[in-house]
Structure 1
Amino acid sequence: MSRTLPMTEPLPGQPDRVTIYEVGPRDGLQNEKSVVPTHVKAEFVRRLLAAGLDTVELTSFVPQKWVPQLGDAEELLDELGEIGTGRQRPVLVPNERGLDRALQRGVTSIAIFGSATETFARKNLNRSVEESLQMFAPVVKRALDAGAWVRAYVSMCFGDPWEGPVPVEQVVDVCSRLMDLGCDQLSIGDTIGVGTPGHVHWLLDALDDAGIGPEQSAVHFHDTYGQALANTMTAIGRGVRVVDASTGGLGGCPYAKSATGNLATEDLVWALDGLGIEHGADLDALVRTSTWMAEQLGRPAPSRVVRALAGG
């Protein structure tokens, strides 16, 4: 593998460091048609950690019939042992039953997954937005009472395949109500990848005006229209310091067929390196990991940086 380095040219107002919230093992793999063996998932996590990614979302405690790919959550955590239960190893839980399963395995960080739109709330959780908020309330309370860290995802923040453009005030209302439950962090999701930098800027402004500042926020962009990295850099310029990404650019959503891969971790790292922003990840190790995972899946990694550095 040839090794090319970007020139480092910082920009005014950029942060010294960004936290990469790696979602590859969960969001990256959840939409794969063939079930990835548990031991392969565990090795994937180990490789990501060895590459310097401190925060890795491991799996989801959803019923297997909902997302067959993630039906081995307990087995995965058992195989990972102590490295799977630290503060920086979140798991997704949809409800109290999922929380029970996670806590029984010693999980100390959880995420819940809400929606800014009614249609996707129905398709993803079989509930209205209001009903889903009522469902999340005891989950968050019990998790916090157990000493866990809690993240709230909000999907369809920029557009919905059934409802079209989503009004900013609608997104802010759902985000505010989730954060009012006591969540520690908000992840703003562009589930189908339709957002653009101006939209990102104004949504972050509106959230800030509502009392949800960039220090509480993360961004989660899909690259359907090639905008994920541009949107991410806009968010970083607005003060966001946590960015969701998936090694190799893997990803999708089983309940939104127009959702393609996530922002590739390698593409993000390349951009951060060019700005002189610290992140802690080893790009060469990430490329090797993505190349290995692509072999397990039987297809090339979507990441352009992986393809460039791995020679195609």
Structure 2
Amino acid sequence: MQLPQRASMDSLPPRITIYEVGPRDGLQNEKSVVPTEVKAEFIRRLAAAGLDTIETTSFVPPSWIPQLADASALLAELGDEGRGPKRPVLVPNERGLDNALAAGVGAVAIFGSATETFARKNLNRSVEESVRMFAPVVARAREAGLWVRAYLSMCFGDPWEGPVPIEQVVDVAARLMDLGCDQLSIGDTIGVGTPGHVIQLLDALAAQGIGPERTGVHFHDTYGQALANTLTAVGQGVTVVDAATGGLGGCPYAKSATGNLATEDLVWMCRGLGIETGVDLDELVQTSTWMAQQLHRPSPSRVVRALGGASD
């Protein structure tokens, strides 16, 4: 496999954690239902490639996202491989948490919105009502000893409301973190963010007491800005980056949201910068190629297309 020549940059961390969202966020918008055994094999292959943190599924009503209706069956199929603090699942409410606890998970994530319109479309609640709904979820999850993440979507723009004021994002982020969450993931759900915007938002969050050590970034690549925005965030001290193998993903409630930052593209950049990820790029490319075959279409990842699954 051809690899990039290493040339580090000042102010970048020696290592980052990739928060792999392919099995959940990556697959949730697929039109045809992926068999449970294929999802389980996908997760096993991702782990074998060195991805430490893998978000496996979501306990949402099947009518919301039919693709994830097999959450309990998937975790049963995975057994111990699907449990623990490095295998988070998304839970929208207490019923979802009940199901997650019954499945023996070790980590959960809630999913809020920085805008009122998307909160209504995604959760059928206002932002305020959503925060109230999440409060007992987080409290009970912490009481059960679970690690808890808070996703915040539409942080850089909203297809219905347009530009989203930074102070509005920070306000909702603070309310979610005040519930007791361990980590915040700021999402560019429709991919409109640019590096200057990233810096301003991270600075505003830090001023509110939510520093880069508690923050992850989640960029969609709709306008080709995901890698640039990620590098900017990492340069600001962020060391947790969400990505989906093969660049899979989208949002069922925001039609302009295309795929996530491709994990392979992120790993390639990090290799060139001398930033460790713990990921075997060759194995990851092979996994992405395999998953693309299951979905019957080419991988959107630029690195996968360039390497073509070639081995060393």
TM-score category by the smaller chain? over 0.9
Which of 205, 210, 218 in structure 1 is aligned with 2:216?
218
Contact 2:285 2:309 in 1 (8 A): no
Alignment gaps of 5+ in structure 2: none
Partner Cα distance (1:41, 1:291) in 2 = 14
Q: 1:86 offset after TM fit, Å?
A: 1.4
Count of aligned pairs: 310
Aligned partner (choices 77, 95, 98) of residue 97 of structure 1: 95
**Residue number among 96, 117, 120 corresponding to 1:119 in the alignment:** 117
1:235-292: CA deviation from partner (whole Å, max 9, x where unpaired): 0000000000000000000010000000000000000000100110000011000100
The alpha carbon displacement at 1:311 in A equals: 6.6
2:254 matched to which residue of 1?
A: 256
Partner of 1:45: 43
- Shift, 1:65, TM fit: 0.5
- Residue 87 of structure 1 and its aligned partner are, at CA, apart by 1.1
SS of equivalent residue, structure 2 residue 149 = strand
Normalised to the residue count of structure 2, the TM-score between the two structures is: 0.99
| Aligned equivalents of 1:251, 1:311: Cα separation in 2 | 21
1:107 equivalent among 105, 108, 113: 105
**2:188 counterpart (190, 195, 206):** 190
What residue is the counterpart of 1:15 in the other structure?
A: 13
- Partners of 1:247 and 1:181 in 2: CA distance: 31
Conserved 8 A contact 2:286-2:309:
no
Q: Distance between the aligned counterparts of 1:273 and 1:47, measured in 2?
A: 20
Instruction: Give distance in 1, aligned partners of 2:241 and 2:147.
Output: 17
**Distance change >3 Å, CA 270–CA 211, structure 1 → 2:** same
**Partner-residue secondary structure (3-state), 2:206:** helix
Q: AA paired with 1:198?
A: G
CA distance in 2: counterparts of 1:212 and 1:87, whole angstroms: 21
Shift, 1:189, TM fit: 0.2
Q: Which residue of 2 aligns with 1:243?
A: 241
8 Å CA contact 2:289–2:309 kept in 1: the answer is no
Per-residue CA deviations over 1:136-195 (Å, capped at 9, x if unaligned) read 000000000000000000000000000000000000000000000000000000000000
* Equivalent residue in structure 1 for 2:81, among 80, 83, 88: 83
| Long gaps (5+) in structure 1 | none
Output the CA distance in 2 between the equivalents of 1:255 and 1:126.
11
The whole-number CA distance in structure 2 between the counterparts of 1:222 and 1:310 is 23
Amino acid at match of 1:296: Q
Question: Residue 294 of structure 1 aligns to a residue in which SS?
Answer: helix
Q: Which runs of 4+ in 1 moved over 2 A?
A: none
Shift of 1:123: 0.1
Q: Report the alpha carbon displacement of residue 54 of structure 1 after superposing the two structures with TM.
A: 0.5
What is the percent sequence identity of the aligned residues? 77
Matches within 5 A, 1:156-235: 156-235=154-233
* AA aligned opposite 2:97: L
Distance 1:257 1:127 in 2: 20
Correspondence 1:301 to 2:299? yes
